[in-house]
């Protein structure tokens, strides 16, 4: 996470205007925190109610689905 956190913050700072820079970064961090909370919540539920491998299988499936959406869902293939 430490390797990619700076990349996201720098991208947000590039696309936002200078007057609302701090607000943009705050909203970005809030969204990341909420997403992380739900990721840990889902992983904990899968771990407790199914088995130890369930969160890892779920994470692998989500990564595979994300790959297909990214690869086949893009409108501009030259990026």
For the chain, percent of residues with pLDDT exceeding 70? 90
Does 44 map to a domain? yes
Range of the domain at 17: 2-73
* Residues 39-63: tens digit of each pLDDT: 999 999 999 999 999 999 999 999 9
* φ and ψ of 51, to 5 deg: -155, 180
Does 49 map to a domain? yes
Does 79 map to a domain? no
Does 68 map to a domain? yes
Does 65 map to a domain? yes
> How many structural domains does the chain have?
1
What is the Cα–Cα distance from 77 to 79, expressed in whole angstroms?
6
Does 78 map to a domain? no
| pTM exceeds cut of 0.75 | no
């Amino acid at each position: 996470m430490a390797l990619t956190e700076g990349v996201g913050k720098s991208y947000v700072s590039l696309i936002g205007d200078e007057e609302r820079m701090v607000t943009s970064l705050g909203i970005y961090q809030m969204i990341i925190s909420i997403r992380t909370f739900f990721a840990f919540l889902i992983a904990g539920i899968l771990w407790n109610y199914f088995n130890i491998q369930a969160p890892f299988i779920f994470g692998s499936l989500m990564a595979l689905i994300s790959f297909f959406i990214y690869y086949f869902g893009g409108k501009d293939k030259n990026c």
